[in-house]
Chains A and B, each alone.
Chain A
Amino acid sequence: MSTGRLQGVDRSLPVWVASALALVLLMALPIGWLASLSVGGEAGPTLVHYRRVFADPALQKALWNTCVLAFWVGLASVAVGAPLAWLTARTDVPGRGLIRGLVMASFVTPPFLGAFAWVMLAGPNAGYINKLWRSLTGADEGLFNVFSMPGLVFVVTIYTFPYVYIMIANTLALIASDLEEAAAILGAGRLVVACTVTLPMVAPALVSGFILSVLQALALFGSPAILSLPAGFHTITTQIWSFFHFPPKTEMAAAFSMPLLLATALLLLLQKKLLGRRGYAAVGGKGGQRRTITLGQWRWPALLAVLGVMACPIFLPYAILAKAAFSRAWAQPLTWDNFTLANFSFTFFEYSATQPAILNTLELGVMTACVGAGLVVLLSYVTSRRLVIGHQLVAFLALAPVVIPGVVLAVGLFIAYTRPPLLLYGTLWILFLAYLTKEMPVGYAQSDATFRAIPPDLEDAGRILGGGRLRVLRDITAPLARSGVIAAWCFIFIGVIRELSASIILFTPATKVISVVIFDLKEEGQFGAIAVLGLVMLAMTFATVALVQRALGRDFLGTRE
């Protein structure tokens, strides 16, 4: 860099102050309070809360349940996501665009809505699928009980496998086919090639997808609350939430949050290590050719199988939600007698919580997305152009919140901001802070990718021709980065409107958001109103997705034809 050292320091000062302040407000304060409360006692530091938490057999069971859930979700997500990615990235299966669209739809569907829909589909007795099964086979028992650990694993997996899909599809798109072809020329069959050449090359992406899925399953609150509580078991997240019930045991909630925080941090570290090794072969650069594998007579059966899989996260749940929204009784067939618009009129005009909740959600969504997008653009520009000393540290800080599960973050924020000097509980600001922290890493990753894709030489050219940095930023960088920034905005917005795990601990009646209202309704069993609000939420989500598609001119998952 040609600029003098002193100048560099000057320029980095505001960035550093801003990052430090954001870090303190968003992470250090909540996590610090969390840690201090977890060891806080009347007479100095104590481990009594930890001892109580880890000695309690019921809580040990919750820990174990979460491990079981996360492990199987990880495996199942790889089992579903990897073949799907291979099919769309490498073969001539028909409808590849459609498949990608469906995977994206499952990616953005709020998991707790999916869980709620699956209660109607696979409740052991009244669930549609089980009723159909019994009437077809005459069996006494249903096919599948969604209120069980396998049920929970299934429902979480169908909304988590897109993480694996994205990792694998993007990796496959980068690996040239020449190694595979070489193996084929040397006489290896298709299966042998897949197992001995392709698989090892995507192994790091596979493991990394597995870890991402495990992390999702660890942090999830809504689906376990909907599916595991009726079956009489807790996971870590639902247990932390119930520590807040009266009389509150905040210290135990804090102590019980720590293993979740540690597990997440360790897993992410592991994933970083794996990705840091950059695979075993030709990853990097888009050099060689990628040859499409022809499926021949298996083309259509393959598509059918994929559509069958995608019925689970998309077709079936969406259909049952729509049906419930128009039914008097969701478990009865949708006949003329059972048809009603009353759920809509109740939800929008009689239920007084609906309108404020939609407004709060939109307000928070727009506010967080604007501030968040601004912040991540600033941070990622600074780091990708290495404009300040210690830019790696800034990048790390922007990504760090990824390790904090929503419930844990909420416990920390609650403790930090229900006391002076910053009494934020009861205002939208505490939710804003939670959302900003939670969505920052996603926004940062998106925005960082954008700036990395804009070669600095264009900017340098501008500088050489006499433009100042600001002028170059305005005339060259900004137009090129525009679509990426819009995408970051949308990612944050979508993340905010579906957020439940932090909101459920931080809301007050005046600051309810749609997800909290849906959860409230779920606890009372008001299926019709939940279905209506669920449709509202999906409509908001897909409108935003459409915006991203337009802005990026390609699909949402970052995979290309």
Chain B
Amino acid sequence: MKRWIALMGALVSILALGSAPAFAQDARVEAAKKEGKVVWYTSLALPTAEKIGKLFEAAYPGIKVEVQRTGSQRILQRVMQEMQANLKLVDVIHTSDAGHFVLLKEKKLLMKYTPAGVDAFPAGFKDRDGYYFTLRATVNVIAYNTKLVSSAEAPRTWKDLLDPKWKGKLVTAHPGYSGVISTHVLALVQLYGWDYFKQLAQNKLMLVQSAVDPAGVVASGERMVAVDGGDYYYYQMKKKGNPIEVVYPKEGVPLVVSPTAIASFAPHPNAAKLFTDFTFTRELQQVMADSEGLYTGHPEVKYPSDKPKLSELKLLNVDAEELEKRNEEIKSRFVEFFGA
């Protein structure tokens, strides 16, 4: 709690001092305050999302953040379903399936807006047309329960997971819910083909939905090994004292970039812009790296020493357009092999 207050204090003061073109900034904040709130559909882990919301509210009193957290695929479903009914509810859309943003852009549902400070981000973190930008990144890893599996026995590669000795001992999250997982599935399909998942399914995996959930399942001992999931949540769980160890397979780890964009029909456009800028500040990107264990595109962010740098990992990249094109194939073939 104390750390929190200190953090918020630091943030507030940085923001207060750092706003050089104070005049323009004031007008923007006033306009945002008039709108009163920003509605954020986000696939960030719930505690992380609520934390960012609270930090924003502390920095800009009078503007509420309405956090609507669910899986990436559910967010896309929500946005499209609401469009169909002509409901304009969402301001800022943030999912872990980069393909969503290709689709949303094509359907003209995104506002062209470049958040302050993203110029310095690497090219892979930016939409070339300026509609969406990567807020955070994570990689998919294998994780195991250290009380149940020794480091010597633990799977080291993606293909180790196909060993029948793991039958009934594995858990996976679902590409029909999570963007982290849909990206993961496509990356491994590109590496090994669908045959990999067909074989993996022989090991009778437990199916959960969110890419965050396998961490809880492994920590509780319900299953020994998770075959996917964002490394950031494992990192957090491990820090909290759970018996979890992470394996970064040497064939490469699927990189998941999670873009964010403002809806073209945003009911609170000024608050949405202010909030988006806030999430790309160095301070906030640093928060995501420090306490959450996420990767970001911000060049000045320092990463915790107990976690590999993105540059030290062999990354498996997935093309956003490819992800968009094969969205339905990924979901339906996964269900075909795993049953639900």
Contact = CB atoms under 8 A, between A and B. Distances in A.
A414 to B, nearest CB: 9
Contact of B81 (A248, A328, A353): A248
A23 interface: no
Interface in A128-180: 147
B67 A147 contact: no
B62 interface: no
Contact of A523 (B85, B206, B209): B209
Contacts of A231: 206-207, 339-340
B340 A523 contact: no
A112 B234 CA distance: 28
B68 A353 contact: yes
A314 interface: no
A426 B90 CA distance: 12
Contacts of A521: 46
B334 to A, nearest CB: 11
B270 to A, nearest CB: 20
B77 A248 contact: yes
Interface size band for B: 35 or more
B222 A125 contact: yes
B336 A245 contact: no
B220 interface: yes
Contacts of A527: 216
Nearest to B71: A523
A248 B176 CA distance: 12
B177 A228 contact: no
Contacts of B41: 509
B207 A229 contact: yes
A124 B169 CA distance: 10
Interface in A272-304: none
Interface string B17-33: 00000000000000000
Contact of B221 (A247, A331, A353, A510): A331
Contact of B67 (A331, A353, A524): A353
B210 A423 contact: no
A425 B90 CA distance: 15
A364 B327 CA distance: 37
A22 to B, nearest CB: 24
B46 A246 contact: no
A362 interface: no
Contacts of A49: none
A232 B69 contact: no
B80 A350 contact: no
Contacts of B213: 523-525
Given A245-B73, A248-B81, A523-B209, A352 B67 contact: yes
Interface string B329-340: 001000110111
A127 B86 CA distance: 45
Nearest to B221: A126
Contacts of A233: 339-340
A350 B339 contact: no
Contacts of B54: 350
B136 interface: no
Contacts of A246: 73, 76-77, 80, 327
Interface string B64-101: 01111111011011101110111101100000000000
Contacts of B240: 328
B222 A234 contact: no
A350 B210 contact: no
Interface residues of A, number: 45
Contact of B206 (A127, A147, A425, A508): A147
A195 B320 CA distance: 69
Contacts of A328: 240
B39 interface: yes
Interface in B304-340: 327-328, 331, 335-336, 338-340
A330 B65 contact: no
A351 B51 CA distance: 9
A230 B86 contact: no
Contacts of A248: 77, 80-81
A460 interface: no
A242 interface: yes
A426 B87 contact: yes
A196 interface: no
A344 interface: no
Given A524-B69, A525-B217, A509 B39 contact: yes
Contact of B46 (A125, A247, A331, A526): A526
A123 interface: yes
Contacts of B84: 418
B115 interface: no
B177 A351 contact: no
B335 to A, nearest CB: 7
A193 interface: no
Given A509-B39, A525-B216, A520 B70 contact: yes
A529 B45 CA distance: 14
Contact of A525 (B78, B82, B87, B208): B208
Nearest to A238: B340
Given A234-B340, A524-B209, A245 B77 contact: yes
A353 B70 CA distance: 12
A358 to B, nearest CB: 16
A348 interface: no
Contacts of B73: 245-246
B256 to A, nearest CB: 17
B78 A509 contact: yes
A516 to B, nearest CB: 10
Given A247-B328, A426-B87, A426-B89, A232 B338 contact: yes
A242 B176 contact: yes
Nearest to B169: A125
Interface in B141-170: 168
9 contacts: A124-B168, A125-B221, A231-B206, A245-B74, A247-B327, A328-B240, A329-B220, A418-B84, A526-B46
The 9 tightest CB contacts between A and B, nearest first, are A232-B339, A525-B213, A331-B220, A126-B222, A126-B220, A523-B209, A418-B85, A246-B77, A525-B216
Interface of B: 39, 41, 45-47, 50-51, 53-54, 65-71, 73-74, 76-78, 80-82, 84-87, 89-90, 168, 176-177, 204-210, 212-213, 215-217, 219-223, 240, 242, 327-328, 331, 335-336, 338-340
